[in-house]
């Protein structure tokens, strides 16, 4: 073959794509291209994985990703964590699932009542917003007291990753709005005197308060002859009653205990009833105590034979408070004494709080000295977060609700407009209240009855408005426990 012929064949082969060297080169280039593509894709995958790790460990991610849907309302993983965190103390005993279940109940309630609020023009006012900010301020104080550099770090430690001040503020606002809608529903309910009387009667003495004493003579002493043991216990009880009826002394409990130890020398003494709700009385003796025929000084022996106890109750009745009195409403301005590091209060700290109270009273008296001016001063000066956005107002106060000194003023026969400074100390605080007596409120019996009727109404209302709602877990729910 001539050189010209061979050259022509090579050119033809190249044009036909059959040149061996060219084919090898093309194959090599193709392999390199595929390798570069695989490397590029791998690098992209690694980058995406790193980004996913960064994002999922970012607190912001917990605030963005939806975790729970209730109807039209969606809650992020951080928001769910906030509600669950409110049940941390229960979670220690019942587990995280219990806390999450309670959180879902809260979200169901809030979503339903917030929707009702929106549909009925119910909105947060300045006082409502101030109450939320007061709670935020309290959290900031706790953060500082516990050594956290910021409130957000404190909240994340308490509730979990992603929970910050904005999340807490938004969820607290939603909760306050739900409470406001709830209250609006309650306020709209009107009950007749007959309905209130019937509702209170349905308590069957459970809300009344009783004074007296009781002692259980135990017949379950390990003897195989339980019948004989019951007879012995009954005989002892009868002897105690006889000793009580023949005894002397005006103090019924002392006389009861003297009779008891005269028959059973090693008896530890009777359990004393002092303002004890009827619902807390021994089950075996409850019907006897709530009987309208009871008179002060009545005693009785009541047999009790159940799976859990065998014996005789010795019971003494002294007094029954049927809550037949009017509640009161007051405004107050609280000045707390500053506690030392060990929780105690120095004389100087208590005196400083008293001086502030006296100065506030003098300031009010030097001005218009009206209820309205007192309310304004309470909003400005009071250290009581529960009322310092409401002009210091507490309504429908019942006996025993406040610390003893405060309670004594409330039910001391005051007239509207009466003002005094009262010292209060219940272990959790030490301070002085400047109190303005607003006046009497509703009968406490009616307050309790209305509360019961409202609870029944709201339970039915909520059941009706949530019957078609489900708490749906979304993709972010798996982060709730993270």
Sign of CA dihedral 151, 152, 153, 157: positive
What would the pLDDT profile of 293-316 be if each residue is shown by its tens digit? 999 999 999 999 988 889 999 999
> Is the predicted pLDDT of residue 3 greater than 80, yes or no?
no
For the segment(s) 326-443, the CATH number from 3.40.1190.20, 3.40.50.970, 3.10.50.40, 2.60.40.1180 is 3.10.50.40
> Is the predicted pLDDT of residue 112 greater than 90, yes or no?
yes
Measured in whole angstroms, how far is the alpha carbon of residue 115 from the centre of its chain? 22
DSSP notation for 333-396: EEEEPPP-TTS---HHHHHHHHHHHHHHHHHHHHTT-SHHHHHHHHHHH---TTTTTTTTEEEE
Instruction: Enter the pTM of the model.
Output: 0.76
User: Tokens standing for 124?
Assistant: 């947060």
Helix (H/G/I), strand (E/B), else coil: 71: coil
Answer yes or no: are the C-beta atoms of 354 and 348 closer than 8 Å. no
What would the pLDDT profile of 10-42 be if each residue is shown by its tens digit? 555 555 545 555 555 556 655 655 555 565 555
Architecture of domain 62-188: Orthogonal Bundle (1.10)
């Amino acid at each position: 073959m001539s050189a010209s012929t061979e050259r022509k064949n090579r050119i033809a082969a190249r044009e036909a794509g059959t040149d061996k060297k060219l084919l090898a080169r093309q194959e090599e280039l193709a392999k390199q291209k595929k390798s570069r593509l695989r490397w590029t894709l791998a690098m992209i995958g690694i980058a995406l994985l790193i980004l996913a790790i960064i994002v999922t460990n970012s607190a912001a991610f917990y605030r963005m990703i939806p975790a729970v849907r209730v109807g039209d309302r969606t809650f992020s993983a951080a928001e769910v964590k906030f509600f669950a965190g409110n049940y941390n103390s229960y979670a220690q005993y019942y587990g995280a699932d219990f806390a999450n279940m309670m959180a879902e109940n809260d979200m169901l309630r809030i979503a339903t009542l917030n929707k009702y609020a929106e549909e009925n023009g119910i909105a947060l006012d300045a006082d409502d917003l101030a109450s939320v900010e007061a709670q935020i301020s309290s959290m900031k104080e706790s953060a500082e007291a516990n050594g956290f550099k910021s409130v957000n770090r404190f909240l994340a430690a308490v509730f979990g990753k992603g929970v910050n001040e904005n999340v807490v503020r938004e969820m607290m606002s939603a909760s306050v709005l739900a409470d406001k809608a709830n209250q609006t529903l309650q306020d709209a309910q009107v009950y007749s005197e007959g309905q209130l009387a019937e509702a209170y009667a349905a308590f069957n003495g459970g809300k009344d308060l009783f004074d007296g004493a009781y002692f259980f003579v135990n017949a379950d002493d390990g003897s195989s002859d339980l019948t004989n043991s019951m007879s012995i216990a009954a005989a002892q009880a009868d002897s105690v009653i006889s000793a009580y009826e023949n005894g002397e002394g005006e103090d019924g409990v002392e006389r009861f205990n003297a009779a008891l130890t005269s028959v059973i020398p090693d008896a530890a003494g009777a359990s004393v009833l002092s303002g004890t709700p009827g619902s807390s009385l021994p089950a075996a003796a409850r019907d006897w105590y709530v009987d309208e025929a009871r008179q002060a000084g009545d005693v009785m022996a009541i047999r009790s034979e159940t799976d859990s106890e065998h014996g005789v109750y010795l019971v003494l009745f002294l007094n029954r408070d049927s809550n037949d009195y009017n509640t009161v409403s007051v405004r107050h301005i609280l000045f707390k004494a500053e506690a030392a590091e060990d929780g105690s209060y120095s004389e100087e700290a208590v005196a400083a709080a008293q001086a502030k109270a006296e100065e506030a009273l003098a300031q009010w008296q030097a001005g218009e000295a009206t209820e309205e001016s007192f309310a304004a001063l309470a909003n400005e000066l009071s250290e009581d977060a529960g009322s310092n956005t409401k002009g210091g107002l507490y309504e429908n106060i019942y006996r025993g609700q406040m610390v003893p000194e405060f309670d004594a003023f409330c039910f001391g026969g005051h007239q509207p407009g009466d003002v005094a400074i009262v010292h209060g100390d219940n272990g959790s605080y030490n301070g002085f209240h400047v109190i303005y007596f607003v006046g009497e409120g509703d009968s406490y019996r009616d307050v309790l009855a209305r509360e019961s009727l409202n609870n029944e109404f709201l339970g039915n209302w909520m059941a009706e408005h949530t019957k078609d709602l489900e708490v749906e877990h979304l993709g972010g729910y798996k982060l709730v426990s993270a």
